[in-house]
Chains A and B, each alone.
Chain A
Amino acid sequence: MMLADSASRGEPVTPIAGGTDVMVSWHHRAKDKLTLLDLSRVRELAVMEWTGVGDGASLTLGGLTTYWDVMQSREAAAAYPLLAEAARQVGAVQIQTRGTWAGNVGNGSPAADGVPVLMAYDATVTLASVRGRREVRLDEYFTGYRKSVRAADELIVAIRLPPPTWGVQWFHKVGARRAQAITKVGVAMVRRAVVSGQMSVTRGHAIPAPSASRRSAVVGERASGAPDAAGSWRVVANSVAPTVVRCRMLESALDSGRIFTRPDEIESLLAGDISPIDDMRSTAVYRRRVLARLIYHRLAQSA
């Protein structure tokens, strides 16, 4: 395999799928002598696959699955509505048709919009090299700003989602404008639908009709039940830390049934989970406040 050969010779090789990240700086690249490895013709990476049947069926995105592929799949959008919601908010159609979920993970931007929803759904990443395949939880994949556990000779060949068993499912992106804007603050919130120790599956909801005035989705609300051992809440934020992050302190507070009466309470709890920066898009204070308020109002809605 070419990637393995190059890696063993110590040459850096950059895989390219949709190119929507790689190509942006193309004309500044003249002196880089970048070696690209084109993945776009690898048929095996193109498939989006279901495993299992009925309510237990789960989805595997191929290494080349695009946002558009998911948006066009009724089944995928019905079972994992946040994937379709986030996809609609990535760039515009011309980006959605080319941009891949694996490229979003591979690029490693803390502002990535695909990563938070995948992470909220407990996705795993399948990495392959000549040494074989391994599976890494997405919430353990990133090790720092644009750093990951992926070795230089490994490719992301698939992203696997467990069967959909979620009640609350919500994604919200705040950007400077509605379309084509990099996220200032984003959050995906998911609560497993667990009723008296039994996983209860909420499936087949109508996808919220796409409309310009609606930017967040609330799908498949369910009565609360006892959280299972793994905890039932997932709160994943983007653009508020060096990587997309799971807000684990907030998650465990929610799992233990804590009720928040003011957004400030969430904001101070989040201090342990996030570390926003001031940059050209936003200030740290804004990011912290907005994230806390988004979460607070979403929780108030389901209380």
Chain B
Amino acid sequence: MANSANDRAGPGAGESGATETFNMSFTLNGAPVSRRVPLDARLLDVLRYDCACPGTKEGCGEGECGACSVILDGLLVNSCLVPAFQAAGRVVTTVESVAADVASALNVTGTSQCGACTPGIVMSIRWLLERPEIASNVDLREFLSGNLCRCTGYDGVVAGAEAALTLRGIPMRGVARPGPGDRGGSRP
């Protein structure tokens, strides 16, 4: 996998191998930014390599792991699946803008171990903090199923989400505990 958007030739690459670029303006964590980026860049690449926001991680690059989760125009999305041109003119929020109180709520509950999945999980929780109506309607385990973690067994992650929501006084629907018929049961 290419490390940088800039060293990838892609659709639109000319005979010389030079990648076509376009000027991309969008709002990143509340501030307007403008960058010339390759036409075939993913939003993930632009954030990491063009905007000095390396907090958004690449795990799978295929939409499975959620490590690259960001909030795009008010929706939680995998930035590895968003072509950069679709994010032009839109509003993007990344883990760099996470509030300290939320970070510390997550730290004390074992939400993070190696930390590879943590930025994505933080963004999923952030979304619930921004959209309390969602928090009170979803099962937290199901909600977090788009964020894979090798380390925590998820109980810490769910506890972290509960702690962050409680801290902000957001009511939640509760968490389904694995039932007897559920082998290995927990979701994700």
Contacts and interface: CB of A to CB of B under 8 A. Distances in A.
Please determine whether chains A and B interact with each other in the same assembly: yes
B81 A27 contact: no
Contact of B61 (A27, A36, A88, A180): A27
B93 interface: no
A95 B146 contact: yes
Contact of A27 (B1, B75, B146): B1
B76 A26 contact: no
Question: Which size bracket describes the interface of B in this complex?
Answer: 35 or more
B135 interface: no
Contacts of A20: 63, 81
Interface stretch (A112-120, A198-206, A207-215): A207-215
Contacts of A93: 76, 124, 143, 145-146
B78 A180 contact: no
A211 B82 CA distance: 29
B176 A19 contact: no
A232 to B, nearest CB: 33
A92 interface: yes
A100 to B, nearest CB: 13
Contacts of B182: 213
Contacts, number: 108
Nearest to B181: A213
A16 B69 CA distance: 20
A92 B66 contact: yes
Interface in A169-216: 177-180, 210-213
Contacts of B146: 91-95, 179-180
B12 interface: yes
A195 B80 CA distance: 51
Nearest to A39: B86
Question: Which size bracket describes the interface of A in this complex?
Answer: 35 or more
A97 B10 contact: no
B137 interface: yes
Contacts of A34: 11
A50 B66 CA distance: 34
Contact of A98 (B82, B176, B181): B82
Interface string A209-230: 0111100000000000000000
Contacts of A19: 81-83, 86
B10 A178 contact: no
Q: Is the interface of B mostly helix, strand, loop or mixed?
A: loop
B176 A213 contact: yes
Interface in B39-53: 40, 42
Given A20-B81, A23-B42, A23-B80, A36 B11 contact: yes
A94 B69 contact: yes
Contact of B63 (A68, A88, A95, A179): A95
A124 B38 CA distance: 38
B105 interface: no
A238 to B, nearest CB: 19
Contacts of A51: none
A104 interface: no
A32 B146 CA distance: 29
A135 B148 CA distance: 41
Contacts of A23: 42, 63, 80-83
A27, A93, A97, A180 interface centre (most CB from chain B within 10 Å): A93
Interface string A143-182: 0000000000000000000000000000000000111100
B126 interface: no
A54 B143 CA distance: 33
B141 interface: yes
A30 interface: yes
A37 to B, nearest CB: 11
B101 interface: no
B13 interface: yes
A24 interface: yes
B9 interface: yes
A216 B116 CA distance: 33
13 contacts: A16-B83, A23-B80, A32-B11, A88-B142, A94-B66, A97-B77, A98-B78, A179-B145, A179-B146, A210-B139, A210-B142, A212-B187, A213-B176
Interface of A: 16, 18-20, 23-24, 26-27, 29-36, 38, 40, 68, 88, 91-95, 97-98, 177-180, 210-213
Interface of B: 1-2, 8-13, 40, 42, 61-64, 66, 69, 75-78, 80-83, 85-86, 124, 137-139, 141-143, 145-148, 176, 179, 181-182, 187-188
